[in-house]
Chains A and B, each alone.
Chain A
Amino acid sequence: MSRIIDVLVVGSGLAGLVAALTAAREGRSVRMVTDGMGSLAISGGCVDLLGYAGGQRLNDPWSGMDLLPPAHPYRLLGASRVRAAVDMLLQCAADQGWPLHTAATPEGAPCNALLPTIMGTLKPSYLLPDGLDPAALARARRILVAGVHGLRDCRPALIVSQLRRYRDWADKDFVPFMLPSPLGATHRSLSALDLARLVDRPRGRDWLIQNLRKHAGQCDAVLLPPICGSRADASIWHELNQAVACPLVEMLSIPPGVGGLRLRDALLRELRRHDFELVENARIIRATTDGKRCTSLTALAAGQERRHTARAFVLATGGILGGGIELAPGSARESVFKLDIPVPSDVTLWSEPEIFGNHVFSRLGVRVDGEMRPQDDSGQAWYDNIFFAGRSVGGYDFATEKSGHGVALATGWQAGRMAAATAGKFHEPASGEQL
């Protein structure tokens, strides 16, 4: 027995969470079915809106929107909707005590920030939590660059050597420093997530504070891997900054994505204030449709099938990595409704010889209209109450554009709105009825 819900969201990456939030904030009942954590499990926790377009790095991401091809999700939506989505996320995050904000030009206009990574490279991004804000670094003359013994992914010497290759960073003083492993002498390897979970607890914070204090006094800023807690808890951040008495800045790091998990934590907390239910470790195996309407999706979890009946559906199932798009020799399809995605039959034409080239496969996805409904080749909607969001949508390359979370946010917002409106239209039977 299962009640009919208004909006069923498949996938719990950023697109799914935003779609669920948008629909829930409009008063709809929302259930989220997910088979994993999606993009946030590998994310740094900042929102890249648009870092590159037309072969140029963008200082102002909004100025690049017009340079994008017409099929790009931002073009389908239009800049004003993208702005509205950004505003909604800013508000939700602030409500949860995990504020995001943008960098600003000297004139005070919002702009992309350049975030240092554990490889010593810089990445443009737009919405940042406090811990990633690089403003203190720009002012700093002398920067402590911290690694941790046992954390193999973060080597201060590499970071310093590479940051120096950027003109703005070449003249700074860097002090590379290895913190002793909090586990003592051990051969065990650590991930940033292990350390972040340790820092969630007072003992871990003491370890971090005592070690940073030894050197931070002579420095203007501390650059460290993302280890300052695993949850969206700003009080930990403020406690650390105060105790070390020197501004801390975290670097972007490789998976596990500590920053992404914090953002997920904040959004799930916000969702729990609404009529929201989360079903984890469940994979959609079947769709039931009636003409141009989907009536239910059946999920498999722990060997049990369960049918989820809803008035509207948001598919935020991810792309090639997340499993929302399946590639086979010569063909591509969407994984739940098995929608065919047109591709050249010769796989050689899907990609370019250069690894970071302009690949066909990197933009493959479901074709949608401005309301995020899937379309067939003739521009007709396949279904009236299904909306796609995030990387399952075609037309953009998250990796080279640095637009992944931005598109997830904008399409998730739109899909959530449209699903909420559609559910409202079908709302004749009272919500909460039993099937």
Chain B
Amino acid sequence: MKDMKEMTYKDAVKLAMCEEMRRDENVFLMGEDVGLYGGAFGVSVGMIEEFGEERVRDTPISEAAITGAAAGAAVTGMRPIVEIMFMDFTTIAMDALVNQAAKMRYMFGGKAKVPMTLRCPGGSGTGAAAQHSQSLEAWFCHVPGLKVVVPGTPADAKGLLKAAIRDDNPVVFVEQKTLYKEKGMVPLDEDFIIPLGKGEIKKEGSDVTVVTYGRMLPRVLRVAEELEKEGISVEVVDPRTLVPLDKELIINSVIKTGRVVLVNEACKTGGFIGEIAAIIAESEAFDYLDAPIVRLAGLDIPIPYNPRLEAAAVPSEEQIRAGIMKVMNR
């Protein structure tokens, strides 16, 4: 295994794409401004120079067309990576994604494969207002045939994106805008793959389990470290992929601690942590719960443009702390 290198989340995503494109000529990237401009968030800067216009394709402003083209390319043997500039715009790509890409393998009796990866940055925190700040991962989780990945660290971003590109099914890969500049140690090994469906305990603990992913992960970890000093031992579980979900990891952790707090940025109503809550309640872990499950999620409102209101719309470190204290009866 090669060395580790400190790099940003954004560079880890790029590294994963570059490695896979070097490894497999069928892998290519397309999206709005991914070529000459290097992507709206600069993820693909420099890639057009290495791989050329054929493999790093600038597209017209039509998410429906891009995603439809990708589904078609995938079914004919290519392994496209699509970048949708903001996750909010996947709504325009929904028919191609939900009705075509997700269904084809099933409807052709397994004869068709759709190895496409749809990358999209989600979440608020950049002052981009209601139409550019949503966390819509639960929409995709509700569609059988799609896999959904939300990495919370640079290393996970690399390992999971490589797994997504190599997967023969359509994968929605939700990047986190506010994490793009977060740094972390990333393995340089080209075979470093994190299998989809395998979560990770980011911090071991014994008093309470916090399940979280994506943008909320660093916040939860900071709170957990603080609480550790105050004598509360928090276990932080990151499922990393929502579909397929590492249920066993979550259930075992809850059995261990007997208390669980679920945190995500997305709106509370219909959010994916509601699904996790139901899975816990249905499982063996039920008999070990020693307090009601606590959910911390975004407010059920469009994300405000005002920066203070924007910040107040999603769980803060103070709120995460308060939620953990609540489940601990402290």
Whether both chains belong to one complex is answered with: no
B→A interface (CB under 8 Å)? none
A→B interface (CB under 8 Å)? none
